[in-house]
Amino acid sequence: MARVVVDVMPKPEILDPQGKAVTGALARLGFAGMSVRQGKRFELEFDGEVTEERLAEVRRAAETLLANTVIETFDVRVEPTPESAGAVDEAQNSQAGNNQAENNKAENNKAENSKAENSKADGSEAQSAEEAELAARAG
């Protein structure tokens, strides 16, 4: 399984009333000095590998439907999934703009998976699910 993420944002020159409302709400809650612009995130999942053809197809889909390029910009990127974390990590490392947070998340997922596997062997699933979550949080 492979995952491609499409991020859609209102263009900088386009007013973002939703972002403004969120900015105002944050300020009222005491989160000062934060200016928010609100966009959308689409997760597209595929069987098999993410090929260049696949990415081109996603870009076409983004241009056709996911974003209105009159008012929005979009960004397409491959995101590691638990199963493909190793393979995709390599691919991502070769790209500029490698996202540390995403890598951390992948590590967490790996930890969670291995923990879950261990627990199966123990035969104490209920408890181990909790443990796995704790481990993921700690990670």
Residues in contact with another protein by CB under 8 A are 10, 14-15, 17-18, 20-21, 65-66, 68, 70-71
Q: Specify the residue, 21 or 91, whose C-beta has the smaller distance to another protein.
A: 21
Which structure tokens are listed for 32? 């000062």
In whole angstroms, the minimum distance from the beta carbon of 67 to another protein comes to 9
In whole angstroms, the minimum distance from the beta carbon of 66 to another protein comes to 8
Q: What is the dihedral of CA 100, 137, 1, 127, to 10 degrees?
A: 160
Contacts of 11 (CB under 8 A, 6+ apart): 71, 72, 73
Q: Specify the residue, 2 or 9, whose C-beta has the smaller distance to another protein.
A: 9
Q: Specify the residue, 61 or 129, whose C-beta has the smaller distance to another protein.
A: 61
In whole angstroms, the minimum distance from the beta carbon of 7 to another protein comes to 15
Rounded alpha-carbon distances, angstroms, from residue 36 to 6, 12, 31, 102, 108: 19, 12, 11, 21, 28
In whole angstroms, the minimum distance from the beta carbon of 39 to another protein comes to 12
